[in-house]
Amino acid sequence: MSSYSIEGGFPLKGKITASGNKNAALPCIAAVLLTDETVILKNLPEIEDVHVMFQVLKELGVEVKKCGHGAYKFKVQDLKTSEIPTKHAKSIRASILFAGPLLARTGKVILPPPGGDVIGRRRLDSHFLAFSALGAQIEIDGLFRINANKLVGADIFLDEASVTATENAIMAAVIASGHTVIMNAASEPHVQDLCNMLNAMGAKITGIGSNILYIDGVKKLGGAEFSIGPDFMEVGSYIGLTAVTRGELEIENAGPKNLRMTKIAFAKLGIHWDTDDSTIFIPSGQELKVSPEIGGMVPKIDDAPWPGFPADLTSIMTVVATQVEGTVLIHEKLFESRMFFVDKLIGMGARIILCDPHRAVVSGPARLRCAELVSPDVRAGMAMVIAALCAEGKSTIQNVYQIERGYEDLSGKLRSLGARITRNK
């Protein structure tokens, strides 16, 4: 099992370019199944989850060719099967995203329960609700067996604004017969990327960026060339680690328009940055101090569906708050196990009270000590990296596979900024 050795206490300084959005890359990769023509995707992050998606495509009968860093060409040769291999389904939750396009193309799909991060219950009901509305039948016998003689457009109201359920519903509907309306749809930048890619392939989707999508089914989709947008989760993570190490950083292709709520949340901790077109600059010498709410109340950083604060950054904000003067409440509403990693931070010297599975009160600043850590998931793992970078001494983080599922060349990027980090095989 690979690990990181990190010696903390050194400011990180320099310049990096944001990677492509992992959460946009995964549905866009699955969507290549919707056409027999060539699709070229650019700015794909070179991460483990993306490479696993490639393996699934190859086993389904899709040719995948690399044509540059982060650029790949896809062409369906012969759809050999509608069953997702169990070994791949168990390794990433994004395996569920093959259900929509396979159902649309072949009328059936067999899917083992998807794996991924262990951050609490992650229900699939919304996916099946959408497929049923479009005319599919679902059987569950240890596997998910979904069949449809014909998909017909429908008025769909999702019971939660699930990102992956919205994406599956979109991919199933674009070549269904008739008109589809998806209400309570997720509207994150990655959902927008998928919609824009499909429109480039000939789909007819309107309402992009809102919670109501309108889709007129077409008989056939064609090829396209599409570039994935920047990963605002990665950008938010690098903003946090720059601030707590007292460094300064320029991030190119950062997508500032997707950081508006993130900027508000960081400002509550006294962290600010400057923006120039697509670049942001985090200066050194910032006063890391909690800004009380009106009346002197303890401020809260809580997640919400887009355009609210992203759930995937709550772990990052928790560790950042340990280095800020004052008290803040972190409220993670969506996943009941995501906050359990804070016991590791407490062991490093952080002053945190875990109120319940969703809420933690953080008081800082705290001098963190080095520790032996194990990454439980992508975002908590990155939070541990940030903690190790500002801790005294040398920390070891095991199971970094979990972190590298979501962060491209993390150790290389950090070393380029002056971090003392070694990746151990």
Residue 85: predicted pLDDT: 81
Residue 93: predicted pLDDT: 77
Regarding whether 216 and 294 lie in a shared domain, the answer is no
What residues have CB less than 8 Å from 369, skipping those under 6 apart? 348, 349, 391, 392, 393
d(CA 236, CA 258): 10
Structure-token pair, residue 318: 């928790």
Regarding whether 136 and 38 lie in a shared domain, the answer is yes
Q: pTM for the complete prediction? A: 0.93
Closest CA to 103 of 133, 70, 77, 73: 133
Regarding whether 66 and 14 lie in a shared domain, the answer is no
Q: What are phi and psi of 85, to 5 degrees?
A: -60, 135
3-state secondary structure string across 111-123? ECCCCCCCCCCCC
Regarding whether 223 and 243 lie in a shared domain, the answer is no
Q: What is the CA radius of gyration of the chain?
A: 22
117 is an active site residue: yes
Regarding whether 413 and 264 lie in a shared domain, the answer is yes
What are the tens digits of pLDDT across the range 71-124? 999 999 888 778 888 877 777 778 899 999 999 999 999 988 876 444 444 578
Regarding whether 362 and 277 lie in a shared domain, the answer is yes
Q: Annotated catalytic residue: which of 36, 49, 78, 117?
A: 117
Q: Which amino acid is at 210?
A: S
Residue 121: predicted pLDDT: 47
What are the tens digits of pLDDT across the range 285-320? 999 999 999 998 999 999 999 999 999 999 999 999
- Asked whether 141 and 70 are in contact (CB, 8 A), the reply is no
Regarding whether 102 and 131 lie in a shared domain, the answer is yes
Number of domains in the chain: 2
Regarding whether 247 and 128 lie in a shared domain, the answer is no
Picking from 210, 227, 244, the residue at the C-terminal end of a domain is 227
Burial of 67 (C-beta count, 10 Å sphere; 0-12/13-18/19+): exposed
Regarding whether 243 and 365 lie in a shared domain, the answer is yes
Domain span including residue 388: 3-19+230-424
Residues of the chain falling short of pLDDT 70 = 115-122
What are the tens digits of pLDDT across the range 321-352? 999 999 999 999 887 777 889 999 999 999 99
Picking from 227, 257, 281, the residue at the C-terminal end of a domain is 227
Regarding whether 179 and 276 lie in a shared domain, the answer is no
Instruction: Write the CATH number for 278.
Output: 3.65.10.10
d(CA 172, CA 101): 6
Regarding whether 248 and 143 lie in a shared domain, the answer is no
Regarding whether 262 and 208 lie in a shared domain, the answer is no
Picking from 227, 248, 279, the residue at the C-terminal end of a domain is 227
Residues facing 137 on adjacent strands: 147
Residue 84: predicted pLDDT: 85
